[in-house]
Each structure stands twice: as C-alpha cells, then as structure tokens.
Amino acid sequence: MYGEVHHIEKLSPDLLRVVLAGGTLDQFEDSTATDAYINARFLPAGSPVKVPFAPADLEGVADELRPRPRRFTIRDWDADQQLLTIDFVAHGDAGYAGRWASQAQPGDRLQFEGPSGSYRPSADVDWHLYVGDESALGAIGSSLQALAADARAVVFVIVEKPGYEINLPSVAEVETHWLYREQWDDSDNELVDAIATTEFPGGTFDIFVHGEAGEVRAVRQHLAVDRGVDLSGASISPYWRRRHTDEQWRKVKRQWMANQA
C-alpha cells in the first residue's frame, strides 16, 4: 500500500506532520487502536527502487540500496477525505525516515504495510497516564482525542527545549507536564523526576509509556518499584534507542526487554 504526500505542516522545530493521500489509500483499513502504526519503507539515496514496488522488484538490488523498514504511528485517518496523517520527528540527517520527512515534497510516495496496534484508552478506569517523547506524540495525541468529555488524563512529555511543545486537543480534562531534555545524556531522569514529584489522582488508571528506550525503562522502574504499580496491563514500548539505528535497536530489543522484566 502507498500514499503520496499531500501536504506538510511544521508542528514544532523538530516535529513534522506529513499528510498522505491518493495512491492505494482507498484500500486502507483503519484500526481501533489509538497507538496504531504502519511499517513504512524508506529508500536510501541512490536506490533504483521506485514506489510502488513488489518483493520481486528488490531482486538483485544491493543491500545498502534496499528499502529500510521503520514504524510510524497513525496520528489520524480521515476516512471521508482518505487522508493519512503521521507526525515525524525530524531528528537530523542520520537515518532514513526523519530525513525523508524533512525533505518530503508534495507528490513524494511512501509505501507501507499495516496498520497494527494494541492500545486504546480503557473506559473502565478513573483516569489515564500518558508518558513519552516526541516520537510518542502521535499516539498520545490520538489517545487524548479519543477520550470522553468526563475522562481525565495526566500527561508527561519530554521534548528538546521550551518552544517545542505542541497542541494536544482533547475534550477530556487533561493535565499536561512538558519536560525539557536540555542535553543528550544517559541520566534518563527528567521524566522520572517529574513523575515522582507529581501527586497522582486517586482511583484506577491505565498506563501508556512509549518513546526512547532508556527513558521508558526508567519510568517503568519508577512506576513498578517506587510506586508499586501493577504493570501487567500497561502499554509500555521502547520505540527507539539513542545512538542505535532502528536495525541495531531491533537486534538487541528482545534482550533489553527481557533484562528489565
């Protein structure tokens, strides 16, 4: 399946909203999950492969020129207009997907499979906890938009620095804490520090923690160890890892997750 870039909107200095239309999107089947994602294929510079491509078209193509798979959340699917919206972190020239989004022009094509996904806010809890970074804003934004007017959510999002926040529309009562990653380091503490010093509302809650692996792990440990929260039903996903390409991250991800279980 593929779509063509319809338009691009700059949500913050490092977050680009890319809206796809046309292509084969008339066959797109939406998911009920609010963290639904596609597995998109990004072409390395100089690749002879053209979208749309079939597996047979990749025969004989050198490894370094083959499409690279990367997962991206569906921020919105407008079934009437057949518009598919994805919010990309533009994190520089390293990698394929972020660079593709930074350079995308109307008419550029993106091929993908999916969607898949598993989280949707529970209707049976008193409130919802959302924690993540820029890469999780699509899923957090989509989840907040799915909440009912009498729902309540507490949100912690870490972004680069002040000025990088985005609007997160919701009819629910939402308390949002924006945190700032003043510099890249391995402390993984900004989110935990903010969560630890925030009094949670009473009652039952569901949990959504997605984003950079070290930050996700630190939050997970805080919730389980410091707060004694039962994480068995929680949606916790280390989307990406600092200083690892997606290929490198996928190789070690299973072991990483097993080590924290």
Ligand X SMILES: Cc1cc2nc3c(=O)[nH]c(=O)nc-3n(C[C@H](O)[C@H](O)[C@H](O)COP(=O)(O)OP(=O)(O)OC[C@H]3O[C@@H](n4cnc5c(N)ncnc54)[C@H](O)[C@@H]3O)c2cc1C
- The residues that touch ligand X, with contacts defined as CB under 6 A, are 37, 70-73, 86-89, 91, 94-98, 134-135, 138, 239-246
Closer to ligand X by CB, 23 or 138: give it.
138
Q: Which residue is nearest to ligand X (CB)?
A: 95
* Least Cβ distance, residue 56 to ligand X (angstroms): 25
* Least Cβ distance, residue 94 to ligand X (angstroms): 4
* Least Cβ distance, residue 141 to ligand X (angstroms): 10
Closer to ligand X by CB, 99 or 152: give it.
99
Closer to ligand X by CB, 173 or 257: give it.
257
SS3 label, residue 130: strand
* Least Cβ distance, residue 18 to ligand X (angstroms): 10
The residue assigned the tokens 């996904």 is 117
Closer to ligand X by CB, 120 or 152: give it.
120
Which whole-number Å values give the CA distances from 207 to 130, 133, 136, 137, 204, in the listed order? 6, 15, 13, 15, 10
> Residue 13, preceding bond cis, omega within 30 degrees?
no
Could you give phi then psi for residue 257, rounded to 5 degrees?
Answer: -70, -35
Which whole-number Å values give the CA distances from 87 to 5, 12, 79, 129, 227, in the listed order? 13, 10, 18, 21, 32
* Least Cβ distance, residue 211 to ligand X (angstroms): 8
Tokens for 251, please give them.
Answer: 């190789």
Euclidean distance between CA atoms 118 and 31, whole angstroms: 9
Closer to ligand X by CB, 57 or 76: give it.
76
